[in-house]
């Protein structure tokens, strides 16, 4: 019996770029096994080495999470669809203060809001009284901040510690060419105050950590997650749960986007009966191993995509403040820009969730770098010389004429942007082409930053290659420290 399986963008390189695959099976388990038989490179992305399905990959039959059906034994029919959903990165007590009013200028500025019955003067006062904290002034934070400012949200806080880079300009519309090298927060403040001088912009130029998150979140009504890494995403979630704050979630990669509202604590959404929904850990209990899911810097992102997802986050934030409509609590919206499709999946609160479940085991913020398996940055670069090599060491060896096999495991379109003359075998093709590599030579593997190449080097060692080293920092480090003529992207 043929069943259609939807393949997310990050996994399409392993299905010959197909977004849907027809496989056979009467249960989810049979469907996935047939999928792996046809596309064997999916195996490590869906199952651990001991054959257990990875916890950061969710499987849906139609719009139902199989964890709340019969798990992998869930039966499927030919009319069903199976979706693979990997991880990619409540309400508001908006009580209007008696001293919050609207000036004549504001009445004119917000006139198109005021004539909407669901907003009106009372709703606009709620917006003015509200305080929203945006985590990140990047791709998602840009449209969120701009639309919240334009809507008249009274206080907008932004947490970021980065400077504007030229690679940001393709999508981070808070910033312009003249802002390159400038603090993102200074640039964001200037842009938002230019949009609406009536809004108070609070900036926090610091890294969000377990030590400062609760203090930063405490004074805000809604937290908007515009982060780009897993440790911060889990930190935002846990801090929101502990404080009972709604978490407006968004994530983006290549052509795919996700958006939801995580509301773990029972809070009044519309000033009425409390609504309790799942948190981010209910969706993804554990993070993927470092480097398995590419970041936007490695996987890329269509510049307009954060505008779409960030605008939806701004929409959900405004709905929460107004207490109107149905927020995305218990629902996950998936957007595929290539096919221009929106799909909605149901989410349920996991009673065994370690932070929002019936018997939580997490009562305070933890070390999220350790939880996600991310090594803390070292004061000085240290390497394991048995399996790693720096760009400086590689340059010396090439200069003295050492006979090395340099392997580039990036994608062909990346190779066209910048290369150092290595042989190109993309990571997704390596299991089928590794025999093209000369095993008699010492092999140096590189990618953009060193994550994909580390996986490739480990794969080759398991296949019996004895002399394999990963180039630490990849072609990025080569461009920065050896040859600036190699384009940085």
Catalytic center residues: 296, 447
> Cα separations (Å) of 317 from 16, 135, 217, 410?
38, 14, 15, 38
Question: Collapsing DSSP states into helix, strand and coil, what is residue 157?
Answer: strand
Tell me the CA distances in angstroms from 429 to 115, 258, 407, 436, 456, one per residue in order: 57, 28, 13, 11, 10
Report phi then psi at 448, rounded to 5.
-80, -50
How far is the first Cα of the chain from the last one, in angstroms, to the nearest whole number? 45
Asked whether 244 and 355 are in contact (CB, 8 A), the reply is no
Q: How many helices (H) and strands (E) does the chain have?
A: 18, 20
337 token code pair = 């820009």
Long-range pairs, 14-18, Cβ under 8 A, ≥24: 14/39, 14/41, 14/42, 14/45, 14/428, 15/39, 15/42
Measured at the alpha carbon of residue 256, what is the angle toward residues 251 and 262, in degrees to the nearest 5?
A: 35
Is residue 462 helix, strand or coil? helix
Query: Cα(142)–Cα(367) distance, rounded to whole angstroms?
Result: 28
Q: What is the C-alpha separation between 336 and 252, in angstroms, rounded?
A: 10
User: Tokens 């009467």, residue?
Assistant: 26
């Amino acid at each position: 019996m043929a069943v259609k399986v939807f393949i997310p963008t990050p996994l399409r390189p392993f299905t010959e770029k197909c977004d849907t695959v027809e496989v056979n099976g009467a249960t989810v388990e049979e469907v996935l096994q047939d999928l792996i038989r046809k596309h064997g490179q999916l195996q490590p992305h869906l199952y651990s080495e001991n054959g257990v399905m990875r916890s950061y990959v969710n499987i849906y039959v139609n719009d139902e999470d199989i964890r709340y059906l019969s798990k992998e034994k869930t039966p499927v029919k030919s009319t069903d669809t199976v979706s693979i959903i990997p991880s990619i990165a409540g309400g508001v007590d908006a009580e209007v203060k008696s001293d919050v009013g609207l000036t004549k200028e504001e009445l004119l500025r917000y006139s198109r809001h005021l004539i909407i019955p669901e907003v009106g003067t009372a709703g606009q006062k709620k917006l003015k009284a509200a305080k929203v904290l945006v985590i990140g002034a990047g791709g998602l934070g840009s449209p969120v901040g701009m639309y919240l400012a334009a809507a008249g949200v009274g206080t907008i806080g932004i947490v970021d510690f980065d400077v504007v880079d030229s690679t940001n300009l393709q999508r981070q519309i808070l910033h312009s060419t003249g802002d390159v090298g400038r603090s993102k927060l200074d640039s964001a403040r200037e842009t938002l105050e230019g949009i609406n001088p009536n809004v108070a912009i609070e900036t926090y130029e610091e890294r969000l950590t377990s030590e400062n998150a609760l203090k930063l979140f405490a004074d805000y009504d809604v937290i908007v997650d515009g982060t780009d890494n897993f440790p911060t995403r889990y930190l935002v979630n846990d801090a929101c749960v502990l404080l009972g704050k709604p978490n407006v979630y968004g994530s983006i990669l290549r052509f795919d986007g996700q958006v939801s509202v995580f509301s773990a604590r029972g809070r009044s959404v519309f000033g009425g009966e409390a609504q309790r929904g799942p948190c981010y850990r209910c969706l993804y209990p554990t993070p993927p191993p470092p480097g398995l899911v590419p970041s936007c810097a490695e996987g890329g992102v269509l510049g307009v995509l954060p505008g779409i997802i960030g605008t939806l986050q701004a929409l959900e934030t405004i709905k929460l403040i107004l207490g109107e409509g149905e927020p995305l609590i218990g629902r996950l919206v998936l957007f595929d820009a290539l096919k221009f499709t929106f799909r909605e999946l149901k989410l349920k609160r996991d009673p065994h969730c370690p932070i929002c479940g019936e018997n939580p085991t997490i009562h305070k913020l933890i070390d999220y770098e350790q939880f996600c398996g991310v090594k803390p940055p070292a004061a000085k670069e240290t390497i394991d010389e048995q399996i790693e090599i720096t760009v400086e060491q590689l340059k010396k060896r090439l200069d003295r004429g050492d006979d090395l096999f340099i392997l580039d495991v990036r994608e062909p379109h990346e190779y066209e942007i910048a290369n150092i003359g290595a042989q190109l075998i993309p990571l997704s093709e390596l299991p089928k082409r590794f025999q093209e590599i000369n095993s008699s030579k010492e092999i140096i593997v590189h990618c953009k930053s060193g994550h994909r190449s580390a996986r490739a080097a480990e794969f080759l060692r398991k296949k019996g290659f004895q002399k394999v080293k990963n180039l630490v920092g990849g072609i990025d480090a080569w461009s920065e420290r050896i040859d600036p003529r190699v384009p940085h992207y």
